[in-house]
Amino acid sequence: MVSPTLPSSYDTIENYTSDLCSFLDTPLVRQITGGIHVNDALIQNGWQALPQEWTEWWSAWPDYRLAQQDLVDGIDEEAEPASRLVQQQPRLAASRPESLTTWLSTLKSLALPRTQRPGPAVALPKVLTAHMGPKKMSEVSSGAAYIHDVCQRRGIRRIVDMGSGQGYLSISLAYLFRGLQCLAIDGSESQVAGSRAVAISLGIPEHRLEQIVHWIDGAPSLASRIQDWADGESCMLVGLHACGSLSEHMIRYFATVPCIEALAVVGCCYNHVVPRSPSCPAGFPISAALRERNVVLSATALMAGCQAPNNWKRPGRGCDQEGESVFGKRRLHRAILEKLLHDKGIEVSRQDGKRPVWGIRKQDTASFAKFARRSMDCLKIAHDRVPAADLMAYEERYKDCEGQIAILWTLSVLCCKVVESLIALDRYWFLKEQGAKGVDIVPIFDFKISPRNLMMVAEKAGPGLP
Ligand SMILES: C[S@@+](CC[C@H](N)C(=O)[O-])C[C@H]1O[C@@H](n2cnc3c(N)ncnc32)[C@H](O)[C@@H]1O
């Protein structure tokens, strides 16, 4: 019987789910994933709310980016913790507080393993790879091979590709495997137009690859359309990086549309996952298992789930001025301006309860004054409400906080793998609750190339189940 590869310290998925939910519900994780948003860190004293021995230790580093790197290494599946930093700061690296080491180990031990599961790959001819980057090539090569194997085993000849985008996957499947027929669906007209042009240039006839523009929101009308297209045959539903709730809609179509017998979907962009609410009762979490535990992921946590800090460029040896982080400055400036506006009682109006977009460009981070004026223009706040002298005073007061803000932000990002694991578990449990067979979470791609590499797979009862 198939079952997902769990972190090494677990032998049952029930215990794993339980521990993961408990960890995400601890006060520290709640704080760093939105309890105190990093933009509000100076207003709500986010730094002071962290364990003191941790903040003291981070403050001792000559460059915060090395401390940041130490944290990121702490969750790396492959890195020897601290080994890279020992060469630069042996004494500091060796004196990391034990409680921080334990917390990082827990974080790491609760993440679903990402090491690519050995599996087939198809060699893609040049005509197909002409429009793909190396990342897409490796994804399509493994994804297409996996899908083809399932189709062969189950005698499926029809594929529905949801969120097909430029059609890399569906075009490759239709081109490589002449016995397959594909229906590619995407909500974006321009994506489908691009995909159609490539299919025509490759001479793929429409009866082997139909491409339609359709927004996918779980509506039954699309289910009927798929049933009609299937014409009595079985289908496999596939999606490569199906953003946000699109993956959840696909999982529901798999469970409810009779002709869909197999599913393979890789998620991404978890910030577009719609949480469950009175206006969206079908939102995250979708499984009874997680709903019973009252699991909630904040917008910050969902955003963290999209990050891949282990693939970040590492800071240079000397961490000199030239290597100064634009992101670090931008985050610091944002936190200072939030504090200034808060202290002056200037409210920033929210759109649909969300923080507005501040419209900051790279060149606006040159100085805090520039950043502030540009942001105020975007937020429609008159300049005379915040005199230049105040801008200078706040910049001076908080100029040394860049490291604090960067570490706070890094801490939230460190939760990326546990957040993604929880989302994968939710989908796993939903599929199990619907009676699906062969439910698995397959690390299908090389995570160094494609960090979003967890593919949810499931099948309906039938011959040849693995
Ligand atoms: C990250 S891209 C992946 C594209 C393609 N599968 C690939 O791997 O190259 C996601 C695609 O899904 C489409 N999409 C996202 N949400 C959708 C929805 N709810 N309905 C239809 N299309 C959607 C977007 O337009 C985009 O083309």
pLDDT of residue 324: 52
Q: What is the pLDDT of residue 315?
A: 61
* pLDDT tens-digit map of 331-354: 999 999 999 999 999 987 776 666
In this predicted structure, what is the pLDDT of residue 319? 43
Amino acid at residue number 318 = G
pLDDT at position 74 is 85
To test ligand 1's pocket by mutation, which of 183, 191, 274 has the most ligand atoms within 8 angstroms of CB?
A: 191
What is the dotted CATH code of the domain comprising 132-265+435-459? Answer: 3.40.50.150
Give the model confidence (pLDDT) of 1-39 as tens digits. Answer: 778 999 999 999 999 999 999 999 999 999 999 888 899
Is the CB–ligand 1 distance for residue 165 below 6 Å?
A: yes
- What's the rounded Cα separation, in Å, for the pair 5 and 336? 44
Strands 181-186 and 209-213: parallel
Domain ranges (residues) in the chain: 132-265+435-459, 327-406
197-252 tens-digit pLDDT: 999 999 999 999 999 999 999 999 999 999 999 999 999 999 999 999 999 999 99
What is the predicted pLDDT for the residue at 90? Answer: 79
Q: Which residues of 197-221 are buried (b: 16+ CB within 10 A; e: fewer)?
A: ebbeeeebeeebbbbeeeebebeee
Please give the pLDDT value at position 321.
41
Atom of ligand 1 nearest to the CA of 272: 16
Per-residue pLDDT, averaged over 316-326, amounts to 49
Average confidence score pLDDT of the chain: 91
Q: Is the pLDDT of residue 86 over 80?
A: no
Mutate which of 183, 214, 238, 241 for ligand 1? The one with the most ligand atoms within 8 Å of its CB, which is 241
Please tell me the distance from the alpha carbon of residue 390 to that of residue 399, in angstroms, as a whole number. Answer: 14
pLDDT of residue 322: 42
What pLDDT shows up at residue 317?
A: 43
Pocket test for ligand 1, best of 137, 162, 164 (most atoms within 8 A of CB): 164
Going from the Cα of 222 to the center of ligand 1, the distance in angstroms, rounded, reads 16
138 lines ligand 1 (CB under 6 A): no
Residue 242 Cα to ligand 1 midpoint, Å, equals 6
168 Cβ closer than 6 Å to some ligand 1 atom: yes
Residue 363 pLDDT:
72
